[in-house]
Structure 1
Amino acid sequence: MPREWDSEGAPERRKKYLSTFVMACTIVFPWLLGYSFDTIDPGYVGLLWNQNLHNLDSNKLWKEGRHFIGLGCHLIIFPTYAQFVNQGYIQARTKDGLAVQIQPSFQYQINDNLDDVAGLYKAFGGSYEETFISISRMNIRDVVSTFVAYDLVKHRDTLASNLEAGLNTKLSDFGVNVIGYQVLSIQWSNTIDNAIMAAVTELENVKTAHAEKNISQIEALTAVEEAKVLSENAIIIANQTAAILLATKEAEASNIVIQGTAQAQAFAAVKANITQVDGTTPMTGDELLKYVYLENMVSQMNVFEERKVAVKVPADIQGVIDAL
């Protein structure tokens, strides 16, 4: 190639190359710039992975927002709110050797700090939840083996509590907290299930019978107390009636005494004012009675005559009558 041609075309070629480079940068740079940013949504945190160097930046925990991370890098996202895990049936065996299937459900939450998140990723990578499920499966087999079949049904809440405590102990080493655990279902073979339900039913029947016995005893004691109250009321009413009757009879007796006293006093006055025929000697009580009898006989004389009744008058009284 002649030197003259090279020297004459060089400026044009340089200009063309520069234009091509500028156009390429204009097109490619925004695209590259876009790939240099990453976004973290609220409720999540992230760790920076450098694809160019194939290493994890464990010196910074990235929070929510849009961040410039550079080319060849991306953020590994971790949720910080509660995560729900529903497992299928897990085969286990009780302390007394019976096969049982447990269906669990649990909720976990990753601690929001750099050491725990970085340690979790280094231990399990991005498949940490699958590992949690495997740990939960082993935990179920361990815990169920401490229960006999009957207690597994009777103390279902205790089973769930023990399963939660065991899983939380295992996951806390990786910066994860178990915040809830439920035993959704317990399945047995039909024979075992029927036997356990029959035993539970009998136990409930015993409790019901005991409660009914207590109720009967309470009702009996109540009836006794009611009888005592009625008896006391009857005694009170009887005492009131007796008191009223006693007061009435006492009043009648008092009236009789008063009347007798008045009669006795009147009789004594009559006796004191009436004397014998001689007018000097007071009559005795016996004589006074005879006198009263005489007065009565005189007043009724005509009646006796009409009826023709013969009346024998004592001689001493007859003497008094003759003297009159």
Structure 2
Amino acid sequence: MTGRPTEPILPNRRTFLRAAALTAVALPLAAACSPGYEESPDPLGPLLRAAETDAAGARALTGADAGAAEPVATARAAHAAALKTEVDRLNRPKPEQSGPAENPSSADGLKERLALARKQAEDLVPSLPRYRAGMVASIAAGCAALQQSSDKLGRGDDAGAVEVPAGTSLNQEAAEAVQQALAAEHAAIWVYGLVSAYLPAAFTSAVSRGSAEHVKRRDVCERMLSAAGQTPTGPEAAYVPPKPVTDGNSAMEIVATSEADATSAWLGVIDRTDDAALRKTALNALIGSARRGTAWRAEFGAKPVAIAMPGQAV
């Protein structure tokens, strides 16, 4: 069964598919540290402050907005906890604050703050050290998933296109990560083909769009690997889900699982490259799968609807 490459790398908790096991090299925490003391403000400081403010504001909302706010409070608290651990670990100077952060007072306020937090995180991913880049990418995807979870949060925009990054030359470590992403894309294409027989006609368009997106990603992976002189991994002859697909709900669940496996695979690429363009390609793929997975989870009533940090081990 597949494992999902994450940071740190752990076996896949869902044990989704037997074939195409995804493995990766764990990055020691110490690798994220640089010698000496950084005198510049920690770039994660503003993200931490925003996550804490969002969580507090969401917890305080009541009435008609409470339903949309509850998952935001939980997820943003998880983001704050992850960021605080890392910020405290390096103990760099705190960024200057222009004024007190105001708690969002409505779902509209949360909508605006999620969009801002997502952009702030996305913008940092290309330049951060590896361990931090993976964590911040996961937070960006978590914000995007929250946007997708409710109309009151604006649904947000889809991620940018997943394209072959210009000027990128894959080293062996990055090539292995892209091979693992390719394996996840093969599995996702197979899953979308499988579920089409179990879902009502109303889902035909969603299935077609999801399948087409994974085909594009598969092609991108194959092109990157071929350009690097690597032989792309082919699809397995068959995949075995952990439980039978027998109806619409089980079909939706396996689609959501395949999207979650894809988030882990693409987060594994970010964890194993310093190339900014390749990170951006992987980030777009990570966010796209996080958003599609959220939509499918909502359809079959999964709780929580939005995963706080897509791609990370749970």
For the aligned pair, the TM-score class normalised by the smaller chain equals under 0.3
**Relative contact order, higher structure (CA 8 A, sep 6+):** 2
Task: Judging by fraction of residues, say which structure has more strand.
Answer: 1
Q: Which has the larger radius of gyration?
A: 1
